[in-house]
C-alpha cells in the first residue's frame, strides 16, 4: 500500500453502507462461542464492533497496518486489543477459532498461498470468514484506470493503481479451500443510493481511488478528481428521483476446518 496512511474520517462517511456486508458475513459464521477471534484489516473498528456484539469481549483482537485506523478503533472500542501488523506476514501465536477479514484481503497479493495459510492458522472446527469487493470491472474502477492512463497523470501514477489484487473467482476459492474445509461461497451486488457523482467520488476516495490520487503531485490531484468525477457523472446517470445507484459486487466465503476426531 501507499506510504500515506488511511483516513478514518473519510472512510466513516459511508460507514453504514460499508458495515452491512460485514454483518452479512458474520451472520453466516457457524460459531456460537469462539475462544480466539482475529479481525484482520479491522480498520476503524466497525467490523470489530460487530464481533464484540455477537461474542462478547473475551479473546477478540483487531489487526491493521494503519496507525490512524488503529487509533480510531481503540477510541471506539477501548476494551479490546488492537495490534499493528501486516496481513501478508501475520501468523498467530496459537491457533485461532475465527479469522474474520472484511474488505481487507483484496489489498493482499497471492491468494493462492494466502488463503491456505489463513486456513492453516485455524484451530480444529475454526472458521475463516472473508468478504472482498469484486468491482474492478465496474465503471467506477474502469474509469480510475482510464483517467490514470491520461498523459497528464500517467507518468506520476505509474503502476500505483495495481496495488490492489485482482481477486480470484468463486470457483477458484472453493477449489483452494474445499479439500481441507467445508466451504460456503456467495456473491452479492449491493446498489448504494448516492446523492450525486461527487458522493460516489467521495466514497471511492477512502478506498479504491487512494493509490491513484496519492501518487500524484498535490497540484495535479484536483485535476485528476475533476476529470474522474466528470466521467462518473456520465457513467452513473440520475435515476427517477435524481439519485445515483452505485453497483458494488462483493464476494464472500466462509470456510470451516474439520473438528478434531
Q: Provide the number of structural domains found in the chain.
A: 1
- Domain contains 261: no
Strands (E), the chain: 37-40, 60-64, 81-84, 96-102, 122-133, 182-194, 244-256
Dihedral of CA 58/62/68/73: which sign? Answer: negative
Is 2 inside any structural domain?
no
List the domain range (segments joined by +) for residue 95: 8-256
Q: Do the domain assignments include residue 1?
A: no
Cβ–Cβ < 8 Å for 175, 185: no
The CATH code of the domain that includes 218 is 3.40.50.150
pLDDT tens for the chain, residues 1 to 261? 444 554 555 545 556 787 899 999 999 999 999 999 999 999 999 999 999 999 998 899 999 999 999 999 999 999 999 999 999 999 999 999 999 999 999 999 999 999 999 999 999 999 999 999 999 999 999 999 999 999 999 999 998 777 677 899 999 999 999 999 999 999 999 999 999 999 999 999 888 898 899 999 999 999 999 999 999 999 999 999 999 999 999 999 999 999 865
Amino acid at each position: 500500500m501507499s506510504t500515506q496512511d488511511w483516513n478514518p474520517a473519510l472512510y466513516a462517511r459511508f460507514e453504514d453502507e460499508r458495515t452491512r456486508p460485514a454483518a452479512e458475513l458474520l451472520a453466516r459464521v457457524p460459531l456460537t462461542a469462539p475462544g480466539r477471534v482475529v479481525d484482520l484489516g479491522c480498520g476503524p473498528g466497525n467490523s470489530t464492533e460487530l464481533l464484540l456484539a455477537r461474542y462478547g469481549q473475551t479473546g477478540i483482537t483487531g489487526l491493521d497496518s494503519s496507525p490512524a485506523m488503529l487509533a480510531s478503533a481503540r477510541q471506539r472500542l477501548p476494551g479490546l486489543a488492537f495490534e499493528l501488523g501486516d496481513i501478508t506476514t501475520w501468523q498467530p501465536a496459537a491457533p485461532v477459532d475465527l479469522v474474520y477479514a472484511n474488505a481487507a484481503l483484496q489489498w493482499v497479493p497471492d491468494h493462492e498461498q494466502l488463503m491456505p495459510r489463513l486456513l492453516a492458522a485455524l484451530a480444529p472446527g475454526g472458521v475463516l470468514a472473508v468478504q472482498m469487493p469484486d468491482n474492478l470491472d465496474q465503471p467506477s474502477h474502469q474509469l480510475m484506470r482510464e483517467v490514470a492512463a491520461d498523459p497528464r497523470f500517467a507518468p506520476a501514477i505509474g503502476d500505483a493503481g495495481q496495488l490492489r489484487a485482482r481477486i480470484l473467482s468463486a470457483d477458484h476459492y472453493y477449489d483452494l479451500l474445499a479439500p481441507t474445509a467445508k466451504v460456503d461461497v456467495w456473491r452479492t451486488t449491493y446498489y448504494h443510493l448516492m446523492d450525486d457523482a461527487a458522493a460516489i467520488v467521495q466514497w471511492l476516495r477512502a478506498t479504491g481511488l487512494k493509490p491513484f490520487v496519492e501518487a500524484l503531485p498535490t497540484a495535479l490531484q484536483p485535476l485528476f478528481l475533476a476529470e474522474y468525477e466528470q466521467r462518473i457523472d456520465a457513467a452513473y446517470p440520475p435515476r427517477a428521483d435524481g439519485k445515483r445507484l452505485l453497483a458494488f459486487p462483493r464476494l464472500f466465503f466462509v470456510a470451516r476446518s474439520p473438528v478434531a476426531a
